Amino acid sequence: MGKSNINRPATVLLTALAPVSWGTTYAVTTEFLPADRPLFTGMMRALPAGLVLLALARVLPRGVWWGKAAVLGALNIGAFFPLLFLSAYRLPGGMAAVVGSVGPLIVVGLSALLLGQRPTTRSVLTSLVAAFGVSLVVLKAAGALDLLGVLAALAATASMSVGTVLTKRWGRPDGVGPLALTAWQLTAGGLLIAPLALVVEGAPPALDGPAVGGYLYLALANTAVAYWLWFRGIGRLTATQVTFLGPLSPLTAAVVGWAAIGQALTPVQLAGMALAFGATVAGQSGVRPPVRPSFGSAGWGHREVSADPAPVALRR
């Protein structure tokens, strides 16, 4: 057994810490941060984290990677954050999380188109079970759904899914680690959100001690560390395996709500948790992508992807 196979469970567990961390965002936002400032919160999550990681990495994009970093930053951060917050504000209960749970299905399809990773009956069924399990956990009775909220949730899910697959397809420039790639995307995404937040929400709000602590947590642990683990995982696992960890986010949010905020968990929610968690585990045995030709690090095409879970062009 190769070293990469031995390290695979550890890689999965470390990558899973990202959506687990993201599952705490709702509780931190509602308990500590100013109300009705989703864009400002998105900017405060992304831009400081990106600048800190950029200072640590001390590497700037070169050549075509200025464009690639901007595209990935827009998909994974700049568009995703505002769309996610918009859907959360306009949809009842956990409907945004339910819509977001179809992400694995989108990634399965995109992986077939862009990575040559053929979808299997198991991966499709596992995606459906995960979405159903999440719906049991977070979906509550509600009236008519807001069309704009639903479209925003779908767009957010599609944006993150495309960003995940393109991150896998493009890999990284030679000699550049996941820290720099994460820094580029967070900085680009934060710079994209900043003017939008200023125009839509006006001047930054006054912050008290709890708000400062909440933003520090979101920027450092919830974003800088979590996204570094996420992009590191994309480089070592298949895109499908990574996206199947996504349901851990709403599951964590439900557990945090129960433990820290006193929200009750019903037997139906517990059953949904078991289904979603089982689907997450089952999704880690996805099909590995075949070998594809490399177009080099200078072009916009994908890099070499091998059957090795740590592809040649992506090894640390």
Can you give the residue ranges of every domain in the chain? 3-314
Distance CA 99, CA 93 (A): 12
In single-letter form, the type of residue at position 287 comes to V
Rounded to two decimals, what is the model's pTM?
0.79
pLDDT band at residue 5 under the 50/70/90 scheme: low
Least confident of 45-49, 225-229, 272-276: 272-276
pLDDT band at residue 261 under the 50/70/90 scheme: low
The DSSP element (H or E) to which 261 belongs, if any, is none
DSSP, collapsed to helix, strand or coil, labels residue 125 as helix
What's the average model confidence in pLDDT over 21-34? 84
Structure tokens at 177: 């680690």
Give the percent of the chain with pLDDT over 70.
82
pLDDT band at residue 217 under the 50/70/90 scheme: very high
* pLDDT of 232 higher than 60: yes
Per-residue confidence (pLDDT) for residue 297, from 0 to 100: 37
Nearest Cα residue to 105 out of 149, 147, 60, 164? 164
Per-residue confidence (pLDDT) for residue 15, from 0 to 100: 93
* pLDDT of 312 higher than 90: no
Of residues 217 and 98, the one with the higher pLDDT is 217
Distance CA 182, CA 231 (A): 7
Per-residue confidence (pLDDT) for residue 23, from 0 to 100: 83
What's the average model confidence in pLDDT over 263-272? 77
Token pair 């557990």 in the structure block, residue: 255
Per-residue confidence (pLDDT) for residue 313, from 0 to 100: 30
Q: Tell me the CA distances in angstroms from 242 to 35, 165, 248, 262, one per residue in order.
A: 32, 10, 11, 31
Please enumerate in sequence order all residues whose Cβ is within 8 A of that of 178, keeping only pairs 6 or more positions apart, or say none.
172, 228, 231, 232, 235, 316
Q: What is the mean pLDDT of the chain?
A: 80
Distance CA 153, CA 155 (A): 5
pLDDT band at residue 30 under the 50/70/90 scheme: confident
What's the average model confidence in pLDDT over 144-164? 84
* pLDDT of 1 higher than 60: no
